[in-house]
Structure 1
Amino acid sequence: MEQQLFKLKVKFGGYFKKVKNSTRLKYYFGRQKSWLVDVDCYCYKDLYDDIVHTFNLKLEETIKIWSVIRHLMPKSYMILDTDQKLMSLFEEYKDLKECFIFVTKETNIIQLSQSILGSQDQIETCRSTATAIEEIREDEVRENQRYNENEHLATIGIDTLATAIENNDFVGVNDETLSQEEQETDTEIYGSESSYHSIYNSDSDDDDENIIEYEGETYEMDIVDPNMAVGTKYTSREQFKVALSQYAILNEFAVRVLKSEPGRMTVSCKDEACNWRLHASLLCDGHTFQVKKLKEPHTCSSINKCGNKMATQFWIYDRIIGWLRKEGDLSPIELKRRLLQFYHLELPYHRVWRGKELAMSMIHGNWADSFERMEDFKEELLRRNPGSVVKLKLDVVDDKHYFHRFFICLQACSTGFLAGCRPFIGLDGCHLKGKFRGVMMAATSLDGNNGLFPVAFGIAESENSDSWTWFLEALKESIQTPEGLVLVSDRQKGLEEAVQHIYPQAEHRKCMRHLYKNFQTKFPGDWLKIKVWGAARAYTKVQHDDIINQIKEASLEAFKYLNAENIGLWSRSQFGITAKCSYITNNLSESFNAWISEARHRPVLDLLDVVRQKIMVKMEARRRMAARWKGNLVPVVMKYVRDISLKLGDYNVYRTSDYRAEVIETNGRHEVILNEQRCSCRLWEVSGIPCVHAAAFICSMRGANLENYVSEYFTVAKYKTAYALEIGPLPDKVQWIKVDIGYKVLPPKLSLRPPGRPKKKRIRGTDENTSKKMHKCLREMVQEEECHVQEAHMQCS
């Protein structure tokens, strides 16, 4: 399994102190070290040991480890003292893959003053040695002062401070060196959700020693199991309410709000017979909430099985967002089951569904807002991938611009297809699962190793003649019309008409699996199934016609169905010989749909970006894989060639010249012409790989190499050509260039949803096995009846 690396930026040797005339805290002095850890095998003990080892701590020294609760506003701090809290921290900063950790020592928490720092001359010396640092905000970047990046002090005190000044080794920034405006500036750890890069951009190569300021007091807040004892402090009223909800849920009771004012809050147990009661109020700093009174214990029974109302959709969102980030789209039923397992809560389905909607919006962004950046996304793709074809189609109604369709064909894909792949393209569409529905259309091909090679993809409102015509027009603009182009489809709505209009000269094959599915509904039976598939796999017209005549004798209607004019090409005996592909199904398109299935529930912009990224990563992985190959042929074909060369004992070769021969086997005789790469069985011509008859002839020749008679489409050189170009990586959305188009792209107008409850499961085909479950009692009755029947047969015999 690939390691999931996470960067820990640990600040040590300093302390938190209030800024003068403010409730803000500022981390003074200390130094910072960073290291990478594997989140899958890193625990709290490892973190503690690393800190002790890195900063050379003594056994008698006591430390506390702190982190910032990222998504809780106003900012709050959590002490790290368990594995569970450390895992929660990794989950919170999963998108950034880095976070700050603060370590405080009880021996060095001192109140610095003018007398401790020394004389004014010493203070000026500190100022002169400071270099610029950057304070990061969501809306601005301010330059501040930065201490020397070569500082290595571990413990800060009066003596060590004087030594640092004498050695011109600055270890902290005095708040007196900052202006009034800078002192009031709040600093946040901020990063975009889709970037793995650090947001600290500095002129220096080493940004490991930034001084970070935070506002408010620092209190220990356990978000998993909060404490409600008298004297417990919370940084705000909102944090207190979050902790109260979690506390009530864990203790399986509900609260009734008796008083709720900005400065105080009194609650009691909802059960009137219970004496539990709590009162908290605001402290004089105007921010901190403290528990003042608590009357215990609880005397009521659990209400969690009755849908505890303390578990609001916002509480549910906070619990499940980590699961959704890690595992993708989980159903509300699965989330409901997990909440019952971990919190003993029996919650209503719709409340869980609303909580999931909140979490998905937080993870992937707002659905409607995703359409506003489509023009920016288009321009960014073209700028990073010159030569690509990217199209955005809008519907204009009453001067409003609604999203309609989007098409992407990256230059690396189009060039790779034309230079390194067979002229074979599968066309298919899959339904999207998001709020605005629609379909994703895709054109996919095969590389020499029979791997999926995406050529183009896009989004449209539905599958119809107009949408497929628009998609194929854009595809033709990207790849033109390669010689011997083959298109294979599942006979989607409107696709056949679109192909005839845009690619009239192309060979349009029909997927045999879908054709037989329709055939089976009218003509069931195993005998017909064997014959129809045999006719599809036949390479020669003689074999095909022989099987079709057998079907005609058995069922004239089935014969007429298979020979209808609109059925298209479905047998290998009808295939051309340029594309060198003998596929009779459109499984490559089905593979593409399954490959992107996890992203089909995302907003449109994220969906397109995820598919682009998956293609980029896949092409790079195959480029590296091909660099390790040794032979001339790709592994799949190499294995086939070796296999057929070992089974030639039953074939007799009668040569008429150096290039022509008769090859006789048990069931017949075939003509092989080497210089034309042709055999009367047609397998070599259609597939591009020598058949067993050609292999027998080639291996009978002295010095002949079977690999030299394989089509160049299956060579390693051709494979490398297909993946030679790179797809340009994109920065985060916040760094995209905003295009002023003069209007706002709105979400597409929703079509009416079909009546009835939406189906959650895929409808099984007629050729697929259906699993049926029998009730236990009925199953026992059937088994008992079968036993009686067997006993009766035994008695008769």
Structure 2
Amino acid sequence: MTLTSNVEVEVYMEDLNVTDDESDGEEYVASTMDKTIWDPFLNDLVQGEVEWPDISYDDAEWTFSNEETEKGDNIGQIFGDQYLVHNPRIPWNKMEPHLGEKYESPEQFKLCLTNYAVANGYQLRFAKCDRSRILVRCGKKSDENKCPFRCWASWMGNELTWQVKSLEKKHVCARKYSLGSLITPGWIANHYLNELIRNPKTKVKEMKADFLQNYSLKLSRGQCERARALAFTLIDGKLTDHYARIWDYGNEVLRSNPGRTVEIGVDVNPDAKYFKRIYICLKALKEGWLKGCRKVIDLDGCFLKGKVKGELIAAIGRDGNNQIYPIAWAVVNVENKDNWKWFIELLQSDIETVEGNGVTLISDQHKGLLEAVKEVMPHAEHRQCACHICANFYKHFSGEIYKTLFWEAAMSTTDQQFKNNMEKMKELNNDAYDDLMKRNPKTWCRAYFATDRACEAVENGVSESFNSAIVGARGKPLITMLEEIRLHVMERFDAMKRSTNSWKTVVAPKILIKMKKWHKNMRNWMVIPSGPLLEVRNGYEGYMVDLASWTCTCGLWFLSGLPCVHACAAINHTHQNLLDYEGHNARTCKNEKVVPPPKEKKPPGRPKKPHSDEAPSKRPTTSGGRGGRRPTRERGGRGSSVGRSGGRGGRSLIDEIFDSPTENEVINMFDNFEEDVFRAEMERGESSHMMQFPESQFDEGVPITQDDGVPETQFDVENANWEDQSHVVGGIAIIVPIIREKFNPRKPSG
């Protein structure tokens, strides 16, 4: 279908409700991205048979005619059968008519005459324009000194071609800047299309100024408004085309992105089916959230700004740098409980959770959303945005003191701190206190948030940021809007990925800025050590910090996953690195799964021992010398021990064990020690000097005792992580659990 009717354009403007008085200061709401204009798939999808217009006129259908011109046809005498063919690809300002020139259609001839008139400032008019002929003159009918320009064209008698039969090209008129109806909305839209693509918010005044400067044309406000409306129709496609091809768009997303989720819903009426909603979640987004983001999701909706109203609802996560991470979005006809329930059910399936276990949701106080979350994700932690609560609270209790006390209560990290702040509110106004307590403080106060999410946020600011980023796309028709949102997310992810290559530390930049701020404020706190615990004080305020378990009694470290200012002071006091106490949620990681090296396996058999004729340098360094005092154990003391100092310079076996870099060297020391002990006892006949442990004492839970009956230690043999239980001999059985602890250090989880 060709958009060539002026009447259609007028009706379109009436539908837009645009008047001359209103359009002066309006801004057309459209995306500043506009990456979908030249997308072959999208253009074919939404535009169908729509053609780019050249010139539009209200004429009847064209037919063939063999009648000759008023002054006769003299082109055969000049050119014979060799006629010039019009080339539509030459620059528009170089076009001009020639005698005998052939055109494909009357529309092409009219476009050539219009470009010729605009380029030279000629006020051409169509004196005759019907089904078979066109007569063009220059100037108004009322002009006394008429310009001699005259052009006559009609169909050729023997072929489907339009031809200039008579032409007088001489002009004596002055340049004109207002060419009237010769300049149609189609011509203006075609010449100004690229500018509107670059800047969709171009105003009518700016449009008129551009045409006066670049084309020497004075356009009316109505001409600019109709042309702009037609241009946006051509850019975005017809509204009905978008909704008619929504199924094709969904199938294309399914085909091009395996592993994604796309679902379309319609309202079934007796007369037809009407669009209701569409949900989109791309595979890369949900996999990235599952593998690299905290289990916190912000839910929010925003209004569409196009001709057809509706809402766009989205689920937004937070990456390690506390920035926007889109997960899924949907377009619905209205924001209500039914649509939110449908959206959350699909989201729950994509993020692989059951009834919201381990997930935190942050949203506003929309009634339908609150009810949908309770039904679909009853076990999820549902926080309410403190900004929305403060705005509703401020409507009834205005004043800066109310706002200050509210945020002090919302930011409280302990129950007692929250109660103290609310007591201040109660003393100020008891009604204000009651109003806040009715709003369920467990949903908007930090003191009652889950402590395993590494997120202390009390607002859904990331959702508001996402809505603001796509405000231009929200004014587009359906498919164009969905494509621009997809392109926006794709470009953002690529930019974020490239920016991480410039990071100098393993901690995300925004997290590092926060830590530097706390590190600066920690100098105001005094640290008092008490064994593994440290007390951090500032005047009458004090908190206990346990670096081993990564906790502080203020609660913020456990809540956010980052060391609080008190923990920073304690870490600095113990001369440790602050970055060692950053949680894994704030650190960079590999894009792919990290494959660890293979585990080292102990070869079968006993370790090879050097012969006596080998060079000393080839002997294992862990075997020690053979000289010096043989290992003995004296009776009669709990502190007696089995050890060897000969050949070690006074160093004991335990000292060498803890200095050994590998576990295999420790095992070799066990073997050598065992062999030396038995050889010495057999030679001297002093086997009674060895500690004798009955086999029953190696059962689980049985204490190991010396020969004097005093328990030495107690441990679980089965769960002691033994490589080979044959090494459990003599006094070595007491040492092995210590060795295992050295090679398997336990650190608190981040």
Q: TM-score, with normalisation over the residues of structure 2? A: 0.62
| Separation in 1, partners of 2:427, 2:222 | 59
State yes or no: 1:694 paired with 2:567. Answer: yes
Alignment counterpart, residue 539 of structure 1, candidates 400, 408, 413 = 413
Where structure 2 has 5 or more consecutive residues not aligned to the other structure, the ranges are 5-33, 41-82, 595-750
Q: Per-residue deviation at 1:259?
A: 0.8
| Separation in 2, partners of 1:509, 1:721 | 32
Aligned to 2:553: 680
Give the match's secondary structure for 2:524. Answer: coil
CA contact (8 A) 1:419 1:722 kept: no
Q: 1:301 to 1:632 in 2, by over 3 A?
A: closer
* Superposed CA RMSD: 3.6
Aligned to 1:264: 134
State yes or no: 1:478 paired with 2:334. Answer: no
Question: C-alpha deviations, 1:8-64, integer Å up to 9, x for none?
Answer: xxxxxxxxxxxxxxxxxxxxxxxxxxxxxxxxxxxxxxxxxxxxxxxxxxxxxxxxx
Q: Partner amino acid for 2:446?
A: R
Aligned to 1:458: 330
Q: Per-residue deviation at 1:662?
A: 0.5
| Separation in 1, partners of 2:177, 2:443 | 67
Alignment counterpart, residue 167 of structure 2, candidates 279, 292, 304 = 292
Q: Partner amino acid for 1:266?
A: V
| Separation in 1, partners of 2:39, 2:268 | 39
Q: 1:253 to 1:264 in 2, by over 3 A?
A: closer
Aligned to 2:509: 635
Q: Per-residue deviation at 1:292?
A: 0.6
CA contact (8 A) 1:679 1:685 kept: yes
Q: 1:220 to 1:399 in 2, by over 3 A?
A: closer
Alignment counterpart, residue 247 of structure 2, candidates 375, 380, 384 = 375
Q: Per-residue deviation at 1:454?
A: 0.4
Alignment counterpart, residue 409 of structure 1, candidates 276, 281, 298 = 281
Give the match's secondary structure for 1:386. Answer: coil
CA contact (8 A) 1:423 1:483 kept: no
Q: Partner amino acid for 2:239?
A: W
State yes or no: 1:359 paired with 2:228. Answer: no
Q: 1:279 to 1:496 in 2, by over 3 A?
A: same
Give the match's secondary structure for 1:600. Answer: helix
Give the match's secondary structure for 1:645. Answer: helix
CA contact (8 A) 1:283 1:290 kept: no
Aligned to 1:240: 109
State yes or no: 1:438 paired with 2:310. Answer: yes
Question: C-alpha deviations, 1:221-255, integer Å up to 9, x for none?
Answer: 76553555765957443233224334545666755
Aligned to 1:590: 464
Aligned to 1:509: 383
Q: Partner amino acid for 1:293?
A: E
| Separation in 1, partners of 2:266, 2:593 | 33
| Separation in 1, partners of 2:570, 2:547 | 9
Q: 1:301 to 1:675 in 2, by over 3 A?
A: same
Q: Per-residue deviation at 1:671?
A: 1.1
Aligned to 1:118: none
Q: What does 1:386-785 correspond to in 2, within 5 Å?
A: 386-398=258-270, 400-481=272-353, 483-492=357-366, 494-565=368-439, 569-629=443-503, 631-658=505-532, 660-666=533-539, 668-702=541-575, 704-717=576-589, 720=591
CA contact (8 A) 1:263 1:282 kept: yes
Q: Per-residue deviation at 1:408?
A: 0.9
| Separation in 2, partners of 1:297, 1:616 | 59
Q: What does 1:168-247 correspond to in 2, within 5 Å?
A: 217=85, 219=87, 223-226=91-94, 228=96, 231=99, 233=101, 235-236=103-104, 237-247=106-116
Q: 1:503 to 1:622 in 2, by over 3 A?
A: same
CA contact (8 A) 1:684 1:690 kept: yes
Q: Partner amino acid for 1:225?
A: N
Q: Per-residue deviation at 1:690?
A: 0.3
| Separation in 1, partners of 2:97, 2:256 | 57
Q: Per-residue deviation at 1:443?
A: 0.4
Q: What does 1:137-176 correspond to in 2, within 5 Å?
A: none
- Number of matched pairs: 514
| Separation in 2, partners of 1:385, 1:526 | 51
Q: What does 1:20-59 correspond to in 2, within 5 Å?
A: none
Q: Per-residue deviation at 1:651?
A: 2.2
Q: Per-residue deviation at 1:473?
A: 1.3
Q: Per-residue deviation at 1:588?
A: 0.4
| Separation in 2, partners of 1:247, 1:515 | 65
Give the match's secondary structure for 1:391. Answer: strand
Q: Per-residue deviation at 1:575?
A: 2.2
Q: Partner amino acid for 1:311?
A: I
CA contact (8 A) 1:650 1:666 kept: no
Q: Which moved more, 1:500-509 or 1:447-456?
A: 500-509
| Separation in 1, partners of 2:520, 2:428 | 40
Q: Per-residue deviation at 1:461?
A: 0.3
CA contact (8 A) 1:228 1:291 kept: no
| Separation in 2, partners of 1:332, 1:471 | 41
Q: Per-residue deviation at 1:694?
A: 0.5
Q: 1:571 to 1:580 in 2, by over 3 A?
A: same
Q: TM-score, with normalisation over the residues of structure 1? A: 0.58
CA contact (8 A) 1:395 1:401 kept: yes
Aligned to 1:279: 151
Give the match's secondary structure for 1:542. Answer: helix
| Separation in 2, partners of 1:722, 1:380 | 30
Question: C-alpha deviations, 1:168-209, integer Å up to 9, x for none?
Answer: xxxxxxxxxxxxxxxxxxxxxxxxxxxxxxxxxxxxxxxxxx
Give the match's secondary structure for 1:716. Answer: coil
Question: C-alpha deviations, 1:514-541, integer Å up to 9, x for none?
Answer: 2222222222222222222222223223
| Separation in 2, partners of 1:216, 1:95 | 34
Q: Partner amino acid for 2:383?
A: R
| Separation in 2, partners of 1:492, 1:291 | 74
CA contact (8 A) 2:98 2:164 kept: no
Give the match's secondary structure for 2:182. Answer: coil
Aligned to 1:742: none
Q: Partner amino acid for 1:670?
A: Y
Give the match's secondary structure for 1:240. Answer: helix
Q: Per-residue deviation at 1:506?
A: 1.8
Q: Per-residue deviation at 1:389?
A: 1.8
Aligned to 1:748: none
| Separation in 2, partners of 1:336, 1:517 | 43
Q: 1:382 to 1:607 in 2, by over 3 A?
A: same
Give the match's secondary structure for 2:522. Answer: coil
Q: 1:96 to 1:721 in 2, by over 3 A?
A: closer
Q: Which moved more, 1:430-439 or 1:470-479?
A: 430-439
Where structure 1 has 5 or more consecutive residues not aligned to the other structure, the ranges are 1-70, 73-90, 98-214, 724-797
Q: 1:522 to 1:342 in 2, by over 3 A?
A: farther
Give the match's secondary structure for 1:225. Answer: helix
| Separation in 2, partners of 1:611, 1:415 | 19
Q: Per-residue deviation at 1:642?
A: 4.1
| Separation in 1, partners of 2:509, 2:324 | 15
Q: 1:234 to 1:331 in 2, by over 3 A?
A: farther
Q: 1:264 to 1:422 in 2, by over 3 A?
A: same
